[in-house]
A and B are shown apart, each in its own frame.
Chain A
Amino acid sequence: MARLDVGSQVIIQREHFGELLEALQKKSYKTIGPTLREKAIVYEEIESVNQLPVGWTEKQEKGKYRLVERSDGALFGYNVGPQSWKSYLSPPEVKLWSARKTENGFEVEEKSDEMPQYAFIGVRPCDLSAINILDRVFLDDEYQDNVYGERRKGLFIVAVNCTEAGNTCFCSSMGTGPRSREGYDLAITEIIDGVDHFFVTDVGTENGAAVLEEVTWEKAGDSAVEAAEERINEAADSMGRDLDTDRLRDLLFNNFEHPQWHDVAERCLSCANCTMVCPTCFCHTVEEVTDLEGDHAERWRIWDSCFTLGYSYIHGGSVRKSTLSRYRQWMTHKLASWHDQFGTSGCVGCGRCITWCPVGIDITEETAAIRKSGKVPEEKVDQPQP
């Protein structure tokens, strides 16, 4: 088929969707997508469409996630699960380098592992925004992070616009969804209407267009494009949560001593689940390991969290000993100082921290409580947009 232009829209019928995976695999991409594992939808390597959670959705609420079957055979009829794509772009455990003892000192060993070239299938708009944020954190600086950069470089992204919002979703508030705006190679919107089942597909890059050369598509008619728009708008109007971002940064900066911090600290487990599931929390620590002989050493980078005592350990002890100070640090960084540091909010409204908190602490409720009785900044000027 002829090469499509960037920005064009086509339709891929359900029965041809598998060709997309095959086309990517033919181009040597390792295709990572949603699949069922245990009682959740996780992101793993998938080889065929059958491995997608076909006909499944989930119910999410504070501290609760349950898979539910759906009757329409949708491929992407769910929202986000316990993992985010950072598991692949900044993996939980990465060996940075290793060294061997020599007579005169030590010798750094050559790294041999080849970087996989990933294609992410089914990236939600909130998660696409999260990847854009991680790009800024890891790459948009004089010093670039190789671990992230090497994995990000060849990444192919198939985004999926949301046609249903989850109960803990609030991407509309954060301006990150439910429509993908930028950063994808292909963006699809799944439409199921009676016997019709197809994907309205937006071509985002030349790479995306090249992959579609191997896939059976047809021209998108006005009605199909309208149907997609309508579904996405429905999702935007049915967000389970909302977060008022008006003067939010200064609101938090003005309320360091608000009693709500005590209230949440009494509930917070400081277990770090919220930071582990957050698609933008990027913190990690570095550990050295040696073997018993003492002639081989390795340096590993592993996920860390601002909810641990070790995280704020400096000479003599931890700076943030109390759970109050740790929760406040996390939320204030995410929603306020992130703007100063990286130019956006650190929150994309995916709702994972709400669903996957074992005791159901809700960042939107905590923020609302502070706004309700806190010192709300008066000036509206110079406030960062979400």
Chain B
Amino acid sequence: MDNNQKPKLAVWKFASCDGCQLTLLNCEDELLAIADKIQIAYFPEATRAVVEGPYDLSLVEGSITTPEDKERIQKIREESNFLITIGACATSGGIQALRNFKDVKEFTSIVYASPEYISTLDTSTPIADHVEVDFELRGCPISKAQLLEVVNAFLFNRRPNIPSYSVCIECKRRGTPCVMVSQGEPCLGPVTQAGCGAICPFYNRGCYSCFGPKETPNERSLSRQFVKMGYTNEDLVRAYRMFNAQSDSFRKESEYYEE
């Protein structure tokens, strides 16, 4: 297909580790099919060639942590017909949102020789706190299969098959015995959104909630069970403050056990 007839894709980076963009590059075989259907117009991690906006589809990775980025995302939104955020940073503020619970100035004064050169916000926040987002793809990093599904759904103008229910359903579908019940592993799977294919329980580990809270999560009930299993309030705070610490329900739960 002629490049000019294809929808234009842009991939944007904010505060993040690049892992989610790499997921797109890791598509390998499918990448050729994507390039056949979509014009990769802006994707600095893949190519220096830049095609001017506006863009039909923008994939946004990373969270908002600087005054400049707060401005930049507004411009990207204006230039994008469809804006999809990818990964825990973009959808919930990421692991860097741990700063939200502390004093950032204290950090910069300890870490940097000349902290006055550092221009940063007090918080790390998800993209949806700043602009309207059309779809959020969870995960740290996102799943390749889910990314392809979202791109696919966009191409054919249909709703993506991205469930918001628990990781438990994925465990059961692949026949993994519950690690919490059978091994006493603390597992965040019952409050975490599916999408990873329940990797950690398959390898006898509890879920760390890379994909963040599921629909209608009940953290308090799960926390009480962790306490019964012998875990401390401090353990609970750490469990909820990982990749999705700023997610509304996880943040509230960690704050409850911090007090």
Residues in A lying within 8 Å of B, measured CB to CB: 37-40, 42, 63-67, 81-83, 87, 92-93, 266-273, 276-277, 287-294, 302-303, 305, 307-310, 321-323, 355-360
Contact = CB atoms under 8 A, between A and B. Distances in A.
Given A273-B190, A292-B34, A305-B169, A358 B222 contact: yes
B118 interface: no
A266 B37 contact: no
A308 B182 contact: no
A381 B221 CA distance: 40
B161 interface: yes
A92 B176 CA distance: 12
B128 interface: no
A273 B175 CA distance: 12
Contact of B181 (A287, A289, A291, A358): A358
A267 B164 CA distance: 20
B33 interface: yes
B182 A272 contact: no
B175 A87 contact: yes
B218 interface: yes
> Which of A39, A42, A83, A87 gathers the greatest number of chain B CB atoms within 10 Å?
A39
Contacts of A356: 178, 181
B165 A65 contact: no
B218 A268 contact: yes
A268 B174 CA distance: 23
A359 B218 CA distance: 11
Contact of B151 (A292, A303, A323): A292
Given A64-B181, A290-B152, A303-B173, A308 B165 contact: yes
Interface of B: 30, 33-34, 36-37, 148-149, 151-152, 155-156, 158, 161, 163-166, 168-169, 172-184, 187, 189-191, 204, 214-218, 221-222, 224-225
Given A40-B182, A64-B181, A92-B174, A323 B216 contact: yes
Contacts of A294: 155-156
Given A92-B173, A355-B181, 5 more contacts: A269-B222, A289-B152, A292-B148, A309-B216, A358-B222
A87 B161 CA distance: 22
Nearest to A311: B165
A271 B221 CA distance: 12
Instruction: Specify the main secondary structure of chain B where it touches its partner.
Output: helix
A321 B215 CA distance: 10
B172 A276 contact: yes
A371 B160 CA distance: 44
Nearest to B222: A269
A270 B164 contact: no
A126 to B, nearest CB: 19
Nearest to B187: A358
Contacts of B177: 37-40, 42, 65, 81-83
A39 B151 contact: no
A31 B174 CA distance: 20
Nearest to A276: B172
Nearest to B202: A38
B204 A38 contact: yes
A65 B181 contact: yes
Contacts of B183: 38-39
A267 B188 CA distance: 15
Contacts of A302: 173
Given A66-B182, A310-B163, A92 B151 contact: no
Given A40-B177, A356-B181, A277 B172 contact: yes
